[in-house]
Amino acid sequence: MIFKATRATLAAAFVGASAFAAAAQGFSPENPECIAPANPGGGWDFTCRQVGKTLQDLGLIDKTMQVVNLAGGGGGVAYAEVVNKRGDDNDLIVAASSATATRLAQGAFPGNTMDQVRWLASVGADYGVLAVAADSDIKDLPQLLEMIKTDPGSVSVAGGSAVGGWDHLKVLIAADAYGVEDVRTVKYIAFDGGGEAVTQLLAGSVQAFTGDISEAKGFVDSGDIRVIAVLAPERLDGEFADFPTAKEQGVDAIGANWRGFYAPGGMSDEAYNGWVEKIGELYASDEWTQIMEANGLAPLDLQGEEFQQFVSESVARIQQISKDIGIIK
């Protein structure tokens, strides 16, 4: 899946009454908080911390964003917390991604639907990667997938989403593209966040890692892991240019993980519009452009109702993919 950016100016994206503009401009969270629905080190944690810091650096919030790591259930613990206990909190935003849409699409958050929260905005898209430990004997993607095809029990792949989640789906998409007849034989082990999954890879408990380029980057820079495939249509630019794509290795697998935020369903319109505007201004800034480039994020510029519609369509699309590969009926 490739998500193309809809590049529009802030003014064009939010045309409305002057009262709306005044309300959005006047909102300032008293105690800004971002929930990262996983342990430190993963993509959700990265999203909260980078956005929180940049919002403050740009003067869009007056106080430091408190980041709370609330792991469990592939994001389900955080979702239930927001829906059931924090439903009218105007100071709270929550990091979300394709993994969130995947869990919602598969009914993995019991009793919860995407309409119970308000979807704020996207801040980019993160291409998926498959990686191994730096000293692994596995040299490239076809070698890994051939091992899975001929002896699936010999390879365990770790990811930071729950079974059936987006990290799981990425390796299944790659296996399917390679010709693995029954992708359900792929041995996937779920952890609460990409950081924990990489830790298990380095410990030798698993043979490969499936995640996103932003969460893998730090471990690549430290020399701990080696990316054997990026699930992008072509090589990325800059410091990511050395990473081979799956496609150039003969595996036509593409996967982009959008990153963004949702808010409590009972958040006031003033607060909702204020957060949407602040994240929109952040996205349009030179500072955020530099962060995206440094961390391998692709453009995806959606706010407010446009983002709400995008998430709805993503949930429907992932639901169909999940049915096609036998994750759900």
Q: What is the DSSP string of 147-181?
A: HHHH-GGG-EEEESS-TTSHHHHHHHHHHHHHT-S
Single-letter residue type at 35: I
Provide the whole-model pTM.
0.77
> Residues 81-90: pLDDT tens digits?
999 999 999 9
Cα(123)–Cα(301) distance, integer angstroms: 6
Q: Rounded mean pLDDT of 173-178?
A: 93
Identify the burial level of 84 via C-beta atoms within 10 angstroms of its C-beta, where 0-12 means exposed, 13-18 middle and 19 or more buried: exposed
Return the percentage of the chain with pLDDT > 70, whole number: 92
Bridge partners (DSSP) of residue 276 are none
**AA identity, residue 266:** G
- pLDDT of the residue at 3: 40
Q: Which residues of 211-243 are buried (b: 16+ CB within 10 A; e: fewer)?
A: bbbbbbbbbbeeebbbbbbbbbeeebeeebeeb
pLDDT at 132: 98
pLDDT at 7: 38
CA 129 to mean position of chain CA atoms: 12
Q: Is residue 17 over pLDDT 50?
A: no
3-class secondary structure for 67-83? EEECCCHHHHHHHHHHH
Looking at residue 215, what is its pLDDT?
83
Residue 198's alpha-carbon distances to 41, 153, 158, 288, in angstroms, are: 9, 20, 8, 26
* Residue 119: predicted pLDDT: 98
Q: Strand 117-133 relative to strand 208-212: parallel, antiparallel, unpaired?
A: antiparallel
- Give the pairing type, strands 156-159 and 187-190: parallel
3-state secondary structure of 211: strand
What is the residue type of 5? A
User: Would the pLDDT of 19 be above 70?
Assistant: no
Q: Mean of the pLDDT values across residues 133-137?
A: 97
Mean pLDDT across 11-30: 53
Q: What's the pLDDT score for residue 41?
A: 86
Domains, the chain, ordered by start: 10-126+258-324 (3.40.190.150), 127-249 (3.40.190.10)
Q: How many other C-beta atoms are found inside a 10 Å radius of the C-beta of residue 111?
A: 9
pLDDT of residue 11: 34
The predicted structure's pLDDT at residue 25? 60
Summarised one tens digit per residue, pLDDT across range 213-227 is 888 888 999 999 999
Could you give the CA distance from residue 275 to residue 290 in angstroms, rounded to a whole number? Answer: 21
Predicted local confidence at residue 42, as pLDDT? 85
Q: How far is CA 284 from CA 18, 51, 271, in A?
A: 22, 13, 20
Residue 211: strand pairing partners: 129
β-bridge partners, 133: 225
**Predicted pLDDT of residue 222:** 94
* pLDDT reported for residue 303: 97
Residues 179, 170, 178: CA angle, nearest 5 degrees: 15
CB neighbours (10 Å) of residue 130? Answer: 27
pLDDT tens, residue by residue, 29-80: 999 999 999 999 888 999 999 999 999 999 999 999 999 999 999 899 999 9
**CA distance to 81, 87, 264, per residue, from 84 (Å):** 5, 6, 10
Q: E strands, 82-232, where?
A: 92-97, 117-133, 156-159, 187-190, 208-212, 225-230
pLDDT at 255 over 50: yes
pLDDT band at 273 (very low <50, low <70, confident <90, very high): very high
Look up tokens 């704020």; give the residue: 120
Kindly state the DSSP code that residue 28 receives in the 8-state scheme.
-
Give me the pLDDT at residue 18, please: 36
pLDDT exceeding 90 applies to what percent of the chain? 71
Task: Provide the pLDDT for residue 84.
Answer: 97
Q: Taking residues 155-165, what's their average pLDDT? A: 91
| Higher-pLDDT residue of 162, 58 | 58
Q: What's the burial of 104, exposed, middle or buried (CB within 10 Å: 0-12/13-18/19+)? A: buried
